[in-house]
Amino acid sequence: MVDLDLPDYGINESFCIGDVHKLDGEAWECCLRGQLRSAVQRLEERHGLTVTAAFEHEFHYSGAEEQPGLGYALRALRRMGGFPDRLMEVLERAGLTPDTFMPEYGPGQAEVTIAPAGALRAADEAVILREVTRAVARGLDARASFAPMVDPAGVGNGVHVHFSLHDLEGNTVNHDPGGPQGVSDTAGAFVAGILKHMPALVAMTASSVPSYLRLTPHRWSAAFNNFGLQDREAGVRICPVFSERPDRDAPGKLHFEYRAADGAASPYLMLAALINAGLDGLDEKMPVPTVTQSDLTTWDDAALAENNIVRLPNRLSAALDYLQESQWAKAAFGDTLVDAFLRHKRCEVEIMDGLTEEEICNRYVAAY
Ligand code: GLU
Ligand code: MG
Measure Cα distances from 163 to 84, 95, 185 in Å.
25, 21, 16
DSSP 13: E
Determine the atom of ligand 1 nearest the C-alpha atom of 111: 9
Instruction: Indicate the top mutation candidate among 149, 155, 211, 213 to test ligand 1's pocket, ranked by most ligand atoms within 8 A of CB.
Output: 155
Which residues keep their CB under 5 angstroms from ion ligand 2?
111
Strands (E), 198-294: 227-229, 236-238, 256-258, 291-292
- pLDDT higher than 80, residue 245: no
Nearest ligand, measured from the Cα of 106: 1
Q: According to the model, what pLDDT value does residue 240 have? A: 87
Q: According to the model, what pLDDT value does residue 246 have? A: 58
- pLDDT higher than 90, residue 134: yes
Query: Is 362 within 8 Å of 154 (Cβ atoms)?
Result: no
230 CA from centroid of ligand 2 (Å): 13
Q: According to the model, what pLDDT value does residue 121 have? A: 98
150 CA from centroid of ligand 1 (Å): 13
- pLDDT higher than 80, residue 242: no
Residues with CB under 6 A from ligand 1: 58, 155-156, 158, 214, 220-221, 232, 259
Instruction: Indicate the top mutation candidate among 55, 56, 99, 105 to test ligand 1's pocket, ranked by most ligand atoms within 8 A of CB.
Output: 105
Report how far residue 181's alpha carbon sits from residue 322's, in angstroms, rounded to the nearest whole number.
31
- Overall average pLDDT of the 319-343 stretch: 98
The separation between the first and the last C-alpha atoms of the chain, rounded to the nearest angstrom, is 22
171 CA from centroid of ligand 2 (Å): 28
Write out pLDDT tens, residues 273-310: 999 999 999 999 999 999 999 999 999 999 999 999 99
Q: According to the model, what pLDDT value does residue 221 have? A: 94
Average model confidence (pLDDT) for the chain? 95
User: Which residue minimizes the CA distance to atom 5 of ligand 1?
Assistant: 220
